[in-house]
Amino acid sequence: MNYDFSKIEAKWQKYWAENQTFKAENNSDKEKFYVLDMFPYPSGAGLHVGHPLGYIASDIYARYKRHQGFNVLHPMGYDSFGLPAEQYAIQTGQHPAITTKTNINRYREQLDKIGFSFDWSREVRTSNPDYYKWTQWIFIQLFNSWYNNDTNKAEDISTLIALFEKEGNATVNAISDEDIIVFTADEWKAFDTKKQQELLLQYRLTYLAETEVNWCPALGTVLANDEIINGVSERGGHSVIRKKMTQWSMRISAYAQRLLDDLNTIDWPQPLKDSQTNWIGRSQGASVTFNVKDHKEQIDVFTTRPDTIFGVSFMTLAPEHELVATITTPEQKQEVEAYIQATAKRSERERMADVKTISGAFTGAYAEHPFTKEPIPIWIGDYVLAGYGTGAVMAVPCGDQRDYDFAKKFDIAIPNVFEGVDISEEAHADKDKTVIANSDFLNGLPYKKAMKLAIYELEKIGHGKGKINYRLRDAVFSRQRYWGEPFPVYYLDGMPQMIDAKHLPITLPEVEKYLPTETGEPPLGNANVWAWCTKENKVVDNSKINNETIFPLELNTMPGWAGSSFYFNRYMDPNNTDAIFSDDAINYWQDVDLYIGGSEHATGHLLYARFWQKFLFDKGVVPKNEFAKKLINQGMITGTSAFVGRIDGFQYERGKWGTEGYYGGTYNVNSNIYISAGRSNDQELLKDLLKANKPETDNAIKAYNEIINDIENFKISIRQGVHADVSFVNASDELDIEAFKNWREEYKGAEFITEENGTFKVSREVEKMSKSKYNVVSPDSICEEYGADSLRLYEMFLGPLEQSKPWNTAGITGTHGFLKKLWRLYLDDNGAKFTDATPTKDNLKTLHKTIKKVAEDIENFSFNTSVSTFMICVNELSSQKCTSKEILEALAILVSPYAPHIAEELWEQLGHNTSIATAPFPKFDASHLVESSKEYPVSFNGKMRFKLELPLDLSKDEIEATVMAHEKTIAQLQGREPKKVIVVPGKIINIVG
């Protein structure tokens, strides 16, 4: 019997599907274990071999846990709202739902071929109305909540209204907007409904407000901070500008401290935690209030260095700061306005590109130092960000490099408030050993004490207090797109109203065009049936809008991260139509035990999901404060591109760079000659080629003549190569010349300079796997040629899960060969080889060594080393000619998480008629590994010279005596007397001297 992997894999994939082998029950006496993968966005390109890496790892873990007797939840679904499908819809008119469905079907086909143990009965799709009903439901919960700082959790908005009615808002300790008016209970009651709603919006956890947003004109939408990379959009790389718009926001800042603190409670990779910590950006300092001369307004600033308050020599406001217009003097008005206009026009990218250019303008106004009462000039400058702190800084040029540079540029005084520090060249930002000087009551104090005293004194005069500031901004939650969740919101008198949860889902309306409307409204503005009837409680035709019973609906949709912020909970009970999930389901499954996915989601999905989880926890909806106990980032698989060396230019060099007579450079030629990698350094050949290929441009001809005249002394190399599709190249880096020639018209007449044996070698380079680099390998083609089990093993064998590593199909013959060898251990041409033979001592030793190592490896997520362990085990059992059924049964279970198809088949061949999936994992028995002797390495001065087999029960002295008497020891010492002999029983012997 041969190892016919295609037949075996198809057979068991069908078996698993038909028998629902991996369906997880919500009621079970077994202990639960929840293994989750980050669900994919189903793109049109399908999966390449890099994508399933994490899925294979999690699948191995899930299968291992089933062998250990756990009830395992291992679901999969799709993050199916998103930009690519919509961009495609704009170009082709194809409804994104259709594109998405096609792509999902393709993904499913590809996933099925790899043999994952997913419980497909629990699949979710974020774009499915049955799913986004609950996204909308959570949105409503957030709208109806506020954050109470006293109880340190989210509460229903009704408790806030009760407080307002009782005592107004002066005593309320809430996370809210900064600029809230103070009112009494009587005033609250006197406000009209609209005013009350406006005020409540300033407290709600999701709120509508005019905010400065990142507007991407090319995509026609706003973007969140985490969707912008290096000042351009993450998708498409379009430029982004700052713009004020009315948008839904999520008050994630309310949870900043808890998001930070609870990082300590979860087992996530440190780099990921670090990047969340940086993103949240907690800084401790003080807020200080400055009076403005001749104005009643005050300016609040945040500073981390209140100890340097006597070093303030000017203030800088962000150009967008609201006080700028008020305080600017008539003389300075023109200059200030010109500056504001100039900065507003600059895109984020431009701003970031030239951080070094210092710019600003003087407002003509002065603030008053809270202690010295000295006038302080007020400037504006775009190095101050409107969005951070209060959008204003007290500038201390002696202690902050940016302030220092600004002061130098505009010739502002730089008073020194540090003892014995020279600030003539640069600012002194160090805190630790700093002692304050020239600062009245702070003189002579070290940083920490000065901090405390400064805050104390500021509080005493009512000009400031200690404060903690976070970099984390509230998250903009509106997108001007079609393919996203609609908001369950209609507008009455300009104020947002929630649609009652019992009428959800509010499904996406049909539109003719997926572009913004002519008046610049989002795509939903094109919908004709998009109004809410409060009588019928349904979506009706826009023409019926009367603003009495029928109102316009929200035109924005939700961002991509909405649906992915709670899907892990929905998997617990995905088909529930009455609730987001049943109490039974959530109480049984609780949280994710193992979550595997890419580190690129560190500050997006993973932060938002933690935020929603905490909110749902506060509301008593979920029992856990954090949704995933352990998280692992799988590394990226890069491609190994193949380059065919084409003579399209020469690089020439004579002499050493910088010395007399040096002559070097490059020029282009037109040729269709290709040179094998093994010969691309053959100077004689290259020189002949150079001679035969005269360039065309004047400069190049000059260089050509120079080289020809003195060709002996030149070193020639060819300039570059062209990508060849990796499928044309075999394991030995040899190109299929015919396939390459037929690939493209331009290669038809190509001429090839081969190796001496007639083959043509390509050169290799590691690059990102991408279509444009012709290095994409799809899992389907691998499954077809080698089988899913070979693929699964090879992906793990490549290296540590967390590391990024290059894919090279050539190596897969190693794991494929292993599977054939494994098969032959059980079966040969005559059928079964296994017998009831009693296992030998060696058999048992090999098996138990393997059990121990594999179990440890899986627990440590070191899957690459367990593949090696299997190979060693099979090599050993083969040479032991092991036929013992007892050993082979255990081995099949060990291999089953990694190569489930072959394991199932062997299990059946061994005589079992149920799946191997829940067969108990073999128990490790240490007694089989007990050794009576050890082959000691004998070192002289730390260098191993020979090995010596000695019984393990020898004492230190006995070992020493035996070794010293050994003839090789005497030969090594050559009569020298050893100074010292180190004996570590069971480990090593080292002779010094």
Partner RNA sequence: GCUCGAGUGGUGGAAUUGGUAGACACGUUGGACUUAAAAUCCAAUGGACAUUAGUCCGUAUGGGUUCAAGUCCCAUCUCGAGUACCA
Place of tokens 């001297």: 993
Give the shortest CB-384-to-RNA separation in angstroms: 4
- The three-point CA angle 547-553-555 to 5° equals 135
Q: To the nearest whole angstrom, how small is the minimum distance from the Cβ of residue 392 to RNA?
A: 7
Nearer to RNA, 306 or 496 (CB): 306
Minimum CB–partner distance for residue 177 and RNA (Å): 18
Compare residues 523 and 779 and give the one whose CB is closer to RNA.
Answer: 779
Quick check: helix, strand or coil at residue 597? strand
Looking at residue 711, what DSSP letter applies?
G
Task: Give the residue with the Cβ less far from RNA, 692 or 984.
Answer: 984
Minimum separation from the CB atom of position 703 to RNA (A): 29
CB 992 within 8 A of CB 964: no
Q: Which is nearer to RNA, 277 or 918 (CB)?
A: 277
Query: Of the two residues 265 and 813, which places its CB atom closer to RNA in the complex?
Result: 813
Smallest distance from RNA to CB 491, Å = 33
Question: Between 211 and 915, whose beta carbon lies closer to RNA?
Answer: 211
Please state, in angstroms and rounded to a whole number, the distance separating the CA atoms of residues 320 and 279. Answer: 23
**Which residue, among 38, 67, 43, has the nearest Cα to 55 in the 3D structure?**
38
**Is 771 annotated among the ligand-binding residues?**
yes
Shortest Cβ 146–RNA spacing (Å): 25
Residue number with CB closer to RNA (125 or 853): 853
CA dist 693 → 266, 650, 681 (Å):
65, 10, 17
Closest CA to 35 of 9, 10, 68: 68
User: Nearest Cα to 605, choosing from 560, 557, 558, 570?
Assistant: 560
Residue 524 DSSP SS3 = helix
DSSP 529: S
424-to-376, 394, 430, 446, 867 alpha-carbon distances in Å: 22, 20, 15, 22, 62
Q: Give the integer Cα–Cα distance in Å for 897 and 60.
A: 5
Q: Which two tokens stand for residue 771?
A: 């279509």
Q: Which two tokens stand for residue 947?
A: 């090995």
Distance of alpha carbon 603 from alpha carbon 495, whole angstroms: 32
Q: Which is nearer to RNA, 158 or 357 (CB)?
A: 357
Of 208, 212, 236, 244, residue with least CA distance to 225: 212
Q: How far is the CB of 947 from RNA (least distance, A)?
A: 6
Nearer to RNA, 169 or 864 (CB): 864
For RNA, the closer of residues 376 and 919 by Cβ is 376
596 strand-pairing partners: 37, 632
DSSP H or E segment with residue 982: strand 980-984
Q: Which is nearer to RNA, 195 or 849 (CB)?
A: 849
Q: Quote the least distance from Cβ 608 to RNA, whole Å.
A: 14
Give the tokens for residue 374: 């000295």
Q: Residue 710 or residue 784: which is nearer to RNA going by CB?
A: 784
To the nearest whole angstrom, how small is the minimum distance from the Cβ of residue 321 to RNA? 10
How far does CA 432 lie from the centroid of its chain? 35
Check: CB of residue 168 under 8 Å from CB of residue 188.
yes
Please give the single-letter amino acid code of residue 138: I
User: Of 117 and 316, which has the nearer Cβ to RNA?
Assistant: 316
Burial of 65 (C-beta count, 10 Å sphere; 0-12/13-18/19+): buried
Q: What is the number of other CB atoms lying within 10 angstroms of the CB of residue 813?
A: 13
Which tokens in the block code for residue 641? 């591109």
For residues 569 and 591, give the distance between their C-alpha atoms in angstroms, rounded to a whole number. 8
Q: Minimum Å distance from CB 235 to RNA? A: 14
Give residue for tokens 């005020």.
199
Cα distance between residue 873 and residue 903, in whole Å:
15
Beta bridge partners of 992: 980
Nearer to RNA, 313 or 815 (CB): 815
Omega into 779 within 30° of 0, i.e. cis? no
- Nearest approach, Cβ of residue 262 and RNA (Å): 19
Alpha carbon of 792 to those of 64, 68, 733: distances in Å?
15, 21, 24
Distance, CA of 7 to CA of 264 (rounded, Å):
49
Q: Which amino acid is at 133?
A: K
Tokens of 327: 């305080």
We find the least distance from the C-beta atom of residue 173 to RNA, in angstroms, to be 24
- Residue 81: name the closest of 640, 662, 508 by CA: 508
Length of the chain: 993
Most distant CA pair in the chain: distance in Å?
A: 110
DSSP of 119-181, one letter per residue?
Answer: -GGG--BTTSHHHHHHHHHHHHHHHTEEEETTTTEEEEHHHHHHHHHHH-STT--EE--S---
Residue ranges of the annotated binding site are 771
Write out the binding residues for ATP: 771
